Structure 1
Amino acid sequence: MSGGRRTRGRLLFVVVPQVYFLSHRLPLALAAARDGWEVHLATAPGEGGDEITRRGIVLHRVPLHRAIASPVQELRSLGALVRLCRALRPALVHAVSVKGVVLGGVAARMLGIPAVLMKGGMGTAVTEPGAANRLARVAIRAGVRVGLGGRAALVVYNPDEADEVASTGWMRSRTLVVAGSGVDCQAFHPTPEPPPPVTVTLPARMLRSKGVEDFVAAARLLAARGVRARFVLAGGADPGNATAIAPGELEGGRGRGWWNGWATAPTCPPCWRAATWCAFPAAARRACPRRSPRPRPRAAPS
């Protein structure tokens, strides 16, 4: 029971970091709540949860680590999720990201709970070179095989991800490829072209794996050739990512026309309205859950 009315059951989201839940999964969680589900979120400690609890979602702090931690730490995280699931007895677990697929999927399988697992992107360990990442890939593939067993279904954003998971022995018949997390058509609709000069925007976190360095190099090259255009990086820093670019590395372009600084998520709508073109120079296989790689009519938030 929740608020004196019967619910369809408890739905437990497992998402790290919390900001990803707010940007990508919150509409789904709210829709589930409207449909009668009692919605819970398991996420890492240390992040502000006022927005989550204000929406009526029950927040649980679990010792989850976004980056790959030591085996001992990962086992502690798994144990904490198992204890939480045993206490809540959710009707469904919805885990997001590679870490969520492994830990949330394994916890759900251990307790016989149905799970919908969303592997949103290949992850740095899969896309980046290095001995540590090679070892991480072995561990991730083993964890994915276990997590995807039992009563689980998998959702991915593109065929590359489906092929990657299929290489672990997972049945493709239980994998659904969707085009992304969706767009609010009430907020995004066609708008007039912005005035000159042409503005090219890269909406992404400031990561090497997102192609930020290639974007800046192209901007420098065109500026040297006298091309009159603005190149805008629209996205925040992500210090927890192995391919993160420190803010100081990009400061040299401010105020010089070819790079206009970055915007954090709350200020992205003005960037979209001002953009003539959108660039996606990803340096590795990426999910693009909130951006479409296909040409379409220009749309921006009202």
Structure 2
Amino acid sequence: MKSTVTRFLACVSLGFVGVVSAQTSPHMEQMLAMMDAQYEQGYFKAPAKCLGVTEKAILAATKKSMAACFPEDITAVDDDVLDACMEAKMLNNLGVSAAKMSQCKQQLGDTPQQEQAAAEQHALEAFWEKVGDRELTNAEQDELHRLSEALGDAQREQALAAIESTAAALRKSAAGSEASITLPLYQNATIDAHYDKGYDFGNFKTLPVAMFSTQDQPKAVLAYYQKKLPGYKFYEFDGIGYMLLEKDPGVDFEFTDFAVYKNLPHVIIEDLNLQGAGANTRISLFYRK
């Protein structure tokens, strides 16, 4: 069960989310929408069967737990605190015992990346048990450095595997759905995700949104959309990129003030060079059906 949750914890720990407000950012909602995609792909069938709950119950419990555990400043995430909070909240929200959760986790097994990370963690713990509180020799300092690096590498591999697994599910779900998108499509881009019912923030919902990535630079993408959507208002946000909004919402707003422009068709062009991602640009199309 925890392996499902850590897909999203891994995204956060790697800076994959990229926007500071977990409660108001569309990027936080992207993670919640990933849960929906995983639900549709049947990711929760085995855990649900083992725990004796429904797949919908796991989906709802995970979203509720994330809302309770993620800090408002997503850049301030403490992985250990977040893990502990998520585990406690999941038990409470699902109404299952810790023993049952542990049993199912063992029964369902870990991914190879999780097993490797656990092995490296065990090796580091064994090292400290051996040396205790005494001063380390030069050889032991070298060994500690090696073990720490091995654990870090294993944890990064685990996180990357989780991210890619989730991304692959989203791409598969979105494939072939472009025809329903009513905003112009950038030709040299690949669809990564499509939420045709929009994002559900609880107190409001957004327009449907499709996300694309391209190797083209953000300014080239911006030029295309400014030509295709000449009446749209232009905004630039430091550290993120550009936005083209159907009309001026009538108030000053920041990028994270998503509720201000939620009902207006818009294009978000993110500079992924600022986030260290594989592609150069992410395009998010919030469109009206």
Which TM-score band (shorter chain)?
Answer: 0.3 to 0.5
RCO greater where, 1 or 2, for CA within 8 Å and sep 6 or more? Answer: 2
Question: If each structure's strand is expressed as a fraction of its own residues, which one has the higher value?
Answer: 1
Task: Tell me the TM-score normalised to structure 1 length.
Answer: 0.35
Task: Tell me the TM-score normalised to structure 2 length.
Answer: 0.36
